[in-house]
Amino acid sequence: MWKTLLCASVLTVVAALSGRPASAGDVELLPPGLMAPSTTEVVPAGKFKKDPPWTIGMSWPGVGNTWIVQTIQEIKYAGSHDPHVKEFRFVEANWQPAKQVADIEDLMTHKVDALIIAPIAIDLVKAQVNAAAAAGIPVIVFSPGGTFTNATVSVYGGGEAFGRTGGEFLKDKLHGKGTIWVFRGIAGSGEEIARYNGLKDAIKGADIKIGAEVYGDWNYAKGKQLCENLVASGQPVDGIWFSGADMTRACFDVFKEIGKPLVPMTGEANNGFLRAWKNAGADSVGPIFTPGLGPAMVRAAIALLEGQQMYKSYYSDPKPVTAANFAQYYRPDLNDAFWFPSTLPENMIMEMFKQ
C-alpha cells in the first residue's frame, strides 16, 4: 500500500514537470483506487486563481472517535505543509448545527481565500455555501456531488456505499434471510443517515428483518452497553450491521465475555478492528472510509487557488477489506487508533501510532 502511495506521488511530480497544459485529470486529490472524479463537469482553469499567500478556512462538524482525531491531524498536516498557505483556520462545531452556521459566517469575516465545509446537516448550511459562492470564494464541500448547486467542488466518500457494502455482506452470509441488529451512529448526522440508507438499499427485497435498531454514536463504550442490553434481552440475531467499527469491537467483546457464538458482523478499515477481527476469528468485512478525505478537501482548495482546472465532484469508494486481502491492510506494528489508508508520511505514522 505504501509503495502505491509513493509511486502515485512520483507520478504527480513527473506530470507537473512535463510541461503539458493542465487538465482536470492532473489534480490528484488521493492516489488512484482511493478517489476518482464522479462527473465530467469541470471548474475552468484560472477561475479562482489568486496570488499567494492564502488564508484557508475549514468548518468541521465536531470531535469524537479515533477516526475523527486522525482525520483532523491529517487535515492540519495538509494545511500547514504548503508554503503558499499563510494561515489555515480550522474550527469545529461540537456537533451543534447552529454553531457550525456561526463558524462559517465567522470564517467569511476573516476574508478567507477558500472555504472548506464538512456539514453536520446539509440543508442547514446551504445559505452559507450560497453566500460564500456569491462573494467569489471557492467552496469545497464534503457532500454528494450536486447537493450544493453553488459548491465549487464536492468531495465525498463513505455514505451509502459504506452502508451498502455491509448490507450486501450480511445478505450474502445469511443467504438472504434472517434477523439482524442495526447499530447506527450519531442521530441526525448526514453521514450516518447515508450509511443507513445504503444498508436499507442492500437488503431491499431480501427476507431480512431488522429486529433491533439503536444509536451507538460510533462509540465503543456506548456500543458495548447497547450490545449487552440486546444480548440480555434474548432477541434473536443472525447478523449485525454497524455504522462504525468501534461499536463492532464492543460487540465482539460482549459476545466473548458471555460465551455467545459470534454471528457475522460488519466493521470498518480500522487497525484496532482488524486486530479484533483476527483475534476473534470473526466473519466480517471492512468498508474503507479513509481519513484522506479530509486532506483531499484541503488539496482541492489549494488546486483552485493555484488556478488549476478541476472536476466538480470526486468520490471515494475503494474495495473493502475482506478475508482475502486482510494481510494487505492489517498493521500489527501499529496501535488500535490507526485508520487507513493514511496520507501522513510513514515516519509520522510510526511516531503517532506505533504499537
How sure is the predictor about 191, in pLDDT bands with cuts at 50, 70 and 90? confident
pLDDT at residue 122 is higher than 90: no
Mean of per-residue pLDDT scores for the chain: 91
Average pLDDT over residues 327-332: 96
Q: In the predicted model, what is the mean pLDDT of residues 236-260?
A: 96
pLDDT at 212: 98
- Going from the C-alpha of 109 to that of each of 121, 218, 305, 348, the distances in angstroms are 22, 34, 19, 34
- Asked whether the predicted pLDDT for residue 89 surpasses 70, the reply is yes
Residue 32 has pLDDT above 50, yes or no: yes
Is residue 193 scored above 50 in pLDDT? yes
Q: How far apart are CA 306 and CA 272, in angstroms?
A: 39
**What are the tens digits of pLDDT across the range 255-303?**
999 999 999 999 999 999 999 999 999 999 999 999 999 999 999 999 9
Of residues 33 and 18, more confidently modeled: 33
Instruction: Render pLDDT for 140-152 as a digit per residue (tens, 0 to 9).
Output: 999 988 888 899 9
Whether residue 85 is predicted with pLDDT greater than 90 in this model: the reply is: yes
CA 274 to chain centre: 17
Instruction: Give residue for cell 492516489.
Output: 31
Distance CA 136, CA 285 (A): 43
Question: Is residue 19 very low, low, confident or very high in pLDDT (cuts 50, 70, 90)?
Answer: very low
In the prediction, which pLDDT does 24 show?
66
Confidence class for position 9, pLDDT limits 50, 70, 90: very low
User: Which residues face 242 on adjacent strands?
Assistant: 183
20 pLDDT higher than 60: no
Residue 329 pLDDT exceeds 70: yes
Which residues have CB under 8 Å from 245's CB, separation 6+?
267, 268, 269, 270, 272, 273, 286
What domains sit in the chain, N to C, each tagged with a CATH number?
2-6+21-158+290-318 (3.40.50.2300), 160-280 (3.40.50.2300)
Average pLDDT over residues 197-219: 97
What is the torsion angle, in degrees rounded to the nearest 10, for the CA atoms of residue 130, residue 134, residue 138 and residue 142?
A: 0
Prediction pTM value? 0.85
Name 78's Cβ contacts closer than 8 Å, sequence gap at least 6.
Answer: 294, 295, 298, 299, 343
User: For residue 13, is pLDDT > 80?
Assistant: no
Please tell me the predicted confidence (pLDDT) of residue 23.
Answer: 62
For residues 58-86, average pLDDT: 94
In DSSP terms, which residues pair with 310 in a beta bridge?
43
Give how far the C-alpha of residue 162 lies from the chain's centroid of Cα atoms, to the nearest Å: 9
> In the predicted model, is pLDDT for residue 83 greater than 70?
yes
Contacts of 6 (CB under 8 A, 6+ apart): none
